[in-house]
Structure 1
């Protein structure tokens, strides 16, 4: 499913967010293909008013007719998708980056896959944004928010999402598939699965606690010797 989004039909940011959230609810649906199917069914331009008239039956007929999803797609997923198209449960609750972020060596730049607030609750391939944090021994700061909506329209959405992680050493995700993880690693970023999810800062607090004596893989990322191994290093001037 790689149908292009309809050209000449710009949508508002709110409308685009409704469509993206609905598409992510349905298994195997590409956002660009979903927009294309909606445009054909509702007519261009796609507006909030047109989306508000969509029903579960309409959505199911559209998806099956365009062979976008399996006919046996879960009914609850369809209901959730329709509610998103109506605008229910959509809120731009992106957090505001912290001010007065310090600079200096010995810190990590970490991306967190997120859908709500400052929650670590996103899958790599479907989260609505990446929260960018500076994690150091003396604190944790939110430095930026990178939306993923435009990346979902790319031919290779996983590669486009990996590009959003530029400048990061780690990305914390609820889950990530093997092919996507390989692209993240090729982009120079180490993926970390955190299936329990929860508050992003709580997860990063655990990371912060090991910065002083990191395990070998993290020491390499930080560019310093692991404290775990330092005790085995030769001591200058030590007695034989």
Structure 2
């Protein structure tokens, strides 16, 4: 089997959900690991028979360095025990009429579940887009990431395009090449050490903005403010 071979949608979904739990691991990479462990063709029975030790020791140790708890979460998804996670409630953006928040920046958060920062750049379900100032924060857009069932596709460029209008990208992890693409698009990526409620991240960022933000962040805020100013033609209309 290779990445372009037909794979039942139900198995593709399981592999995609499992890959979301593994840092810097795409669905296509996990697919190759699973084939190396259980052989071809991949079947539901083969996935259900897998154990954590199989993932740790199989495929020449490709997942050997992964934390056991992380592998357990991925295994649950391979077993189909948490397919409901794919249908987790998606937050609704705030409707507003008054334009961008003054002195705000726009950030993208990689998310799988509700309003949580719990996603890896290459495999998260969606990007939640927030406008954040020192005094306010609001969710302004929810952007679904490329379909996880399309295992053979490199989604990095598509994902960069989804967040290219943002100032910051918040993720649990991001690979070097993808990070370079993000930076080249004008977005500053940074990683958080563990999953958390996005509200906690926003509160922390607001405190930084209200104080003396580091030069790179102050520059981002100034750039965002400049872009939000009306043009001469708009001001005159």
TM-score, normalization by structure 1: 0.66
Q: Which residue matches 1:211?
A: 209
Deviation at 1:191, TM superposition (A): 1.0
- The 1:81–1:121 alpha-carbon spacing in structure 2 relative to 1, beyond 3 Å, is closer
Q: Which residue matches 1:83?
A: 76
TM-score, normalization by structure 2: 0.67
- The 1:170–1:35 alpha-carbon spacing in structure 2 relative to 1, beyond 3 Å, is same
CA RMSD of aligned residues (A): 4.0
- The 1:153–1:107 alpha-carbon spacing in structure 2 relative to 1, beyond 3 Å, is farther
Secondary structure of 1:195's counterpart equals coil
Structure 2: which 5+ runs fail to align?
225-237
Deviation at 1:194, TM superposition (A): 2.5
Secondary structure of 2:90's counterpart equals coil
1:212-236 per-residue CA deviation (whole Å, 9 max, x = no partner) reads 55432122212269xxxxxxxxxxx
1:23-68 per-residue CA deviation (whole Å, 9 max, x = no partner) reads 344677541365585995247xxxxxx46973116x959x95xx58
Greater RCO (Cα-Cα under 8 Å, separation 6 or more): 2
Structure 1: which 5+ runs fail to align?
44-49, 226-240
Secondary structure of 1:220's counterpart equals helix
Q: Structure 1 residue 170 and structure 2 residue 168: aligned? A: yes
Note if contact 1:56-1:78 (Cα within 8 Å) is conserved in structure 2: no
**Structure 1 segment 1-240 matched on structure 2, within 5 A:** 3-7=2-6, 11=9, 16-25=12-21, 30-32=26-28, 34=30, 37=35, 40-42=40-42, 50=44, 54-56=48-50, 60=54, 67=59, 70=62, 76=68, 80-90=73-83, 91=85, 92-101=87-96, 102-104=98-100, 105-150=102-147, 153=151, 155-195=153-193, 197-212=195-210, 214-223=213-222
Bigger radius of gyration, 1 or 2? 1
